[in-house]
Amino acid sequence: MIKAIVFDIGNVLVRWDPVAAFLPLLGDRASVLAFLDRVDFATLNQRADGGACFDDLAEAIADPRDRAAFLAYRAGHAASIREPIEGTWVLLDRLRARGHAVHAITNWSAQTWPIGLATHPRLATAFGVTIVSGIEGVLKPDPRIFATLCDRAGVAPDQCLFIDDSPRNVAGARDAGMAAHHFTDPAALEDDLIRRGLL
């Protein structure tokens, strides 16, 4: 029986678009996309989400202008997470109103997580337990991050429904023994929650 619903945050509850963080500095979307490709931002950001420091990561960027642009990401981070996905928040509130335990596991840098909390104060109060990868030093879909959530929330994996937009993370949760929903939009999530008898 499902006793806890575990949400991812980025692109489930809050849209994340890193391009928006760099537009004021680089001017247009094409320039930002070229920069992101040039510095392999996806890999650097994943390492930050795993606990690496942005200053240390920047040392691997040879071009000083690109290095400066990368370091500006923290200052511009709020712009990349400006938009809440309100339909998912409505579902989260309905789950809580029905008495379900609601938790979160997010791949998010420890250095930018406080910006997320300041931009979306609901993130500080919505969950019983919040596991932030950059603080823990372990990323989804590593089984250890799911085990950490279960330990702190006092639930077994088979008592959890995990919701994430990443197929890889969804597969990781299932491998860890959780039920899982691949998030595409709030309407499909609502249908699944109703089908499972949670709403």
Q: How much is the average pLDDT of 70-99?
A: 97
**Bridge partner list, 161:** 5, 179
* pLDDT tens digits for range 11-39: 999 999 999 999 999 999 999 999 999 99
* pLDDT tens digits for range 110-145: 999 999 999 999 999 999 999 999 999 999 999 999
Contact 131, 32 (CB under 8 A): no
* pLDDT tens digits for range 115-124: 999 999 999 9
Q: State the pLDDT at residue 11.
A: 98
Q: How much is the average pLDDT of 91-104?
A: 98
Q: State the pLDDT at residue 197.
A: 98
Q: How much is the average pLDDT of 191-197?
A: 98
Chain center to CA of 5: 15
Report how far residue 17's alpha carbon sits from residue 121's, in angstroms, rounded to the nearest whole number.
19
Question: Is the bond preceding 18 in cis, omega lying within 30 degrees of 0?
Answer: no
Domain ranges of the chain: 4-15+82-195, 18-79
Report how far residue 91's alpha carbon sits from residue 114's, in angstroms, rounded to the nearest whole number.
24
* pLDDT tens digits for range 145-189: 999 999 999 999 999 999 999 999 999 999 999 999 999 999 999
The encoded tokens of residue 173 equal 């949760």
Residue 10 identity: G
Q: State the pLDDT at residue 120.
A: 98
Q: State the pLDDT at residue 14.
A: 99
Q: Average pLDDT of the chain? A: 97
* Band of residue 73 on the pLDDT scale cut at 50, 70, 90: very high
Residue 145 identity: I
Q: State the pLDDT at residue 181.
A: 99
Q: State the pLDDT at residue 81.
A: 98
Highest CATH level, class, for 4-15+82-195: alpha beta
The encoded tokens of residue 11 equal 């692109």
Report how far residue 131's alpha carbon sits from residue 45's, in angstroms, rounded to the nearest whole number.
18
**Bridge partner list, 102:** 5
